[in-house]
Amino acid sequence: MTLSAAVRRIPFTLAVAGAILALGLVTGSLWSPLESKDWLADVAYGPQALAEGRWWTLLTGPFFALAPWQYPVVVGFFVLLSGLAEWRLGTRVAGLCVVAGQLVGVTVGCLSVRALATTDWVWAREIADDLDLGFSAGGMFAAMVASAGLRRPWRGRVRGALLAYTLTSLTFLGFLYDVEHLVAVVAGLLAGPWVVGRRPAPLRGLLRPALTRQDLRLGAAGFFWLSAVVTLIAQLSDREGPFGRVGGDPQSWWWVLVLVATDLVIAQGLGRGRRTWWRVAVVLTGLTWLGEVVTIGFVLAGQADSSGLLWLSVVLDSTGLGILVWGRHAFRNPGRRGLRTASPRRIGALPTDAHRQRARDLLVGHGSANRLSWMTTWPQNSWWFGSTDGAVAYRLTSGVAIGLCDPIAGSAAPTTVADEFVAAVREGGATPCLFSSSPDLAAWARDRGWMAVQVAEEAIIDLPELTFRGKKWQDVRSAFNQAEKNGIGVSLYRLADAPRSIRVQVAAICDEWVHEKSLPEMGFTLGGLEEAADPDVWIAVAVDPDMTVHGVTSWMPIHGPGGGVAGWTLDLMRRLPGGFRYAMELLIAGSCLQFQEQGYAVVSLSGAPLANAREDESADQGVVDTMLDRMGEMLEPYYGFRSLQAFKAKFQPRYEPLYLLVEDEGMLPFAGLAIGRAYLADATLGQLLSLSFTRRG
């Protein structure tokens, strides 16, 4: 989607943001604090303003900010929240929600503070005279309403973020706007289902919470993330909050940083379901809670002063301890030492040769709908096995389990094996995704609300009708003609059975190709000489009368449904520098003819990563495709994926898309980083920085 199209989707939000900036420019408040203006009390809202009858401030206050530095925050916050609502709900409904939410949040918030100020609550008395500006309450109300129409897990993420921000800020800062935000968020939470037309069922969720292991892990980890944030806020702030004075000791920063680091490390371990970190979390939380209870005993005995923060800490730690104890069954994953002896049904288990052979036997016996599936037998993979005769090859990196190709399935359907794999990945505390997947598996993903992002296109040649006749095959015929003149032929070997001179030359060509690159040889879905040495893989070599090897390709078997070999997939492609110009055309075409004579049905030229052969390049590709295109441009000078895609077009293939399957948009960055690490696992930091700077230049 273009920028102009996005702008047309949120006209109300942009109009309000423009009005705020225009008034700031006209009144000079963009560079001069509004607090210094005599007319501040005439435009700002607050408990005292409403009590004195200045009700018009409800309409003027939203369009200003107190200080120049607040304008970027006020406008940015409003555009983010109101823009989300307008994008989801439409301009008319979102506009009504923003205005209504602002009026409800400010009016109810200010009246509540004024009522509380009549009590002995010191905090309420202090903020009763405060003035406030901005449209944030309306934006938060509208965003909360819009969240009711989002699909899971985005609904929970938006609501959790808004509630966490509001409650944390109110507890430890306690400004007037925090009260208004709380009113707006709660009101939006209640009104949202009615506005979007979804039947609310709050009691059902409370009485019968359907919490998965992942939910319990995130809840426990979230408790420690919140603890880290609260610790920092308590150290930085110095004011009277709703629960008492909040302020840190400048001399204790080293201790605060230790506490924050500890909370973050524990949260990381809990998020992955680690048993050891659950034990650590229970012990630390339990000791903290016990200390607070003992302190309360001294308070009740009159030997210590009472504190609202003390009672709040008891409530929070009791909640955290309850989550840990109640959800203890969700934290059973062993650490790295335990995974060395774990079953291959557990994600992260140490791969063995026996696992590899078992996966290989399953593929040979049952086949796969994915023509690239032989790469799942490569030794760099790990293998997970399902409850039936199914398996998935995967790489576990950066907390993401990348399933490779389609699942191998015997009696069970591939989709059933995929469901079990995803459940096992979540159980193992990792993020699931599948890479280089077929259109059939992409349909499975979409049925479950996942995203299917095209990352490559597989070039396929159907052998029965293959003939190199006609103008479109001119390049291939030229390769045959030139090869005949130079006496160059194509021979197929198992690498281990090839003559020693050929094996030495193939190794030298591959070694020279790698050393020409400023980045290391890519792996993951791109095989090298080690993979070509597989006894089930053919290599094709172009050899002249002097036994000089001018080029080499490798061909992996395609085990179709039922397990029989239906064809061959191209993997390794290397040419002798300065050798026969048409070596690759000759090798591919010559191999196709030999496979055709042997009765095989299909040849796959594989897929070039990040290089799609789109027929309509002017079509709207979306944000994700644009990002992948940029990555392809960055790597093109080093690995030539797009040049390779154009080269394969000489063989007039048909194309089938290959997909990256992820649970939702929020997982795309993590999956992208993990896949990048899988491809460039041996790249150094300096090489990656060089790649980035070269692209910028």
Same domain, 119 and 257: no
For residues 555-578, give the mean pLDDT. 91
Given pLDDT bands bounded at 50, 70 and 90, which one contains residue 516?
Answer: low
For residues 616-643, give the mean pLDDT. 47
Same domain, 381 and 326: no
Residue 503 pLDDT > 90: yes
Contact status, residue 502 vs residue 543, Cβ threshold 8 Å: yes
Residue 56 forms part of a structural domain: yes
Residue 625 pLDDT > 60: no
pLDDT for residue 492: 95
Least trusted range by pLDDT, from 1-15, 57-71, 137-151, 572-586 = 1-15
Residue 221 forms part of a structural domain: no
Residue 523 forms part of a structural domain: yes
Centre a 10 Å sphere on the Cβ of residue 689 and count the other Cβ atoms it contains. Answer: 10
CATH of the domain at 551: 3.40.630.30
Centre a 10 Å sphere on the Cβ of residue 323 and count the other Cβ atoms it contains. Answer: 22
Place of tokens 């009700």: 55
Contact status, residue 559 vs residue 566, Cβ threshold 8 Å: yes
Residue 91 forms part of a structural domain: yes
Backbone angles phi, psi at 405, to 5 degrees: 60, -150
Same domain, 186 and 233: no
Same domain, 578 and 677: yes
Same domain, 425 and 301: no
Backbone angles phi, psi at 132, to 5 degrees: -135, 155
Given pLDDT bands bounded at 50, 70 and 90, which one contains residue 207?
Answer: very low
Residues sharing a CB contact under 8 Å with residue 210, sequence separation 6 or more, in sequence order: none
Residue of 377, 454, 451 lying closest to 408 (CA atoms): 377
Q: Is the dihedral of CA 590, 595, 596, 601 positive or negative?
A: negative
Contact status, residue 181 vs residue 105, Cβ threshold 8 Å: yes
Centre a 10 Å sphere on the Cβ of residue 92 and count the other Cβ atoms it contains. Answer: 10
Residue 613 pLDDT > 50: no
Query: Which run of H or of E encompasses 136?
Result: helix 136-147
For residues 597-617, give the mean pLDDT. 70
For residues 226-248, give the mean pLDDT. 80
Considering only CA atoms, give the Rg of the chain: 32
Residue 347 forms part of a structural domain: no
Strands (E), 576-622: 602-607
For residues 643-666, give the mean pLDDT. 85
Strands (E), 515-632: 538-543, 549-559, 565-575, 602-607
Query: What does the pLDDT look like over 360-409, one tens digit per residue?
Result: 999 999 999 899 999 999 988 999 998 878 899 999 988 899 999 999 98
What is this structure's pTM?
0.76
Greater confidence (251 vs 409) lies with: 409
For residues 488-516, give the mean pLDDT. 89
To the nearest 10 degrees (0 to 180), the angle between helices 11-27 and 91-116 is: 60
Question: For the chain, how many structural domains are there in total?
Answer: 3
Place of tokens 């555009």: 79
Q: Is the dihedral of CA 307, 309, 312, 314 positive or negative?
A: negative
To the nearest 10 degrees (0 to 180), the angle between helices 622-639 and 641-648 is: 90
pLDDT for residue 328: 85
Contact status, residue 459 vs residue 644, Cβ threshold 8 Å: no
pLDDT for residue 248: 65
Choose one of 141, 174, 209: the last residue of a domain: 209
Given pLDDT bands bounded at 50, 70 and 90, which one contains residue 591?
Answer: very high
The DSSP string of 150-198 is SPTTHHHHHHHHHHHHHHHHHHHT--HHHHHHHHHHHHHHHHHHHHHT-
C-alpha 414, offset from chain centre: 24
Distance CA 477, CA 126 (A): 88
Distance CA 2, CA 409 (A): 42
Same domain, 265 and 185: no
| Whole-number percent of the chain with pLDDT over 70 | 86
Residues sharing a CB contact under 8 Å with residue 449, sequence separation 6 or more, in sequence order: 151, 152, 664
Choose one of 275, 300, 330: the last residue of a domain: 330
Same domain, 71 and 172: yes
Distance CA 344, CA 585 (A): 42
Same domain, 505 and 651: yes
C-alpha 135, offset from chain centre: 31
Residue 87 pLDDT > 80: yes
Distance CA 75, CA 67 (A): 13
Residue 17 pLDDT > 90: yes
What count of Cα atoms within 13 Å lies in the side-chain half-sphere of residue 344? 23
Same domain, 200 and 246: no
Residue of 522, 601, 609, 523 lying closest to 569 (CA atoms): 601
Average pLDDT, the chain: 84
Choose one of 182, 209, 236: the last residue of a domain: 209
Q: Checking phi first, is residue 273 left (phi over 0); if not, alpha (psi -120 to 50) or beta? A: left
| Whole-number percent of the chain with pLDDT over 90 | 48
Same domain, 541 and 617: yes
Listed ranges 165-169, 627-631, 643-647; the one with the highest mean pLDDT: 165-169
Residue 381 forms part of a structural domain: yes
CATH of the domain at 36: 1.20.1540
For Cα atoms 384, 368, 380, give the angle at the middle one, nearest 5 degrees. 40
Same domain, 189 and 235: no
Same domain, 310 and 409: no
Residue 297 forms part of a structural domain: yes
Given pLDDT bands bounded at 50, 70 and 90, which one contains residue 615?
Answer: very low
pLDDT for residue 93: 94
Residue of 12, 163, 22, 155 lying closest to 92 (CA atoms): 12
Residue 695 pLDDT > 80: no
Residue 349 forms part of a structural domain: no
Domain that holds residue 255: 227-330
Query: What does the pLDDT look like over 100-153, one tens digit per residue?
Result: 999 999 999 999 999 999 998 888 999 999 999 999 999 999 999 999 988 777
Residues sharing a CB contact under 8 Å with residue 671, sequence separation 6 or more, in sequence order: 400, 402, 431, 433, 660, 662
Residue of 330, 322, 319, 345 lying closest to 271 (CA atoms): 330
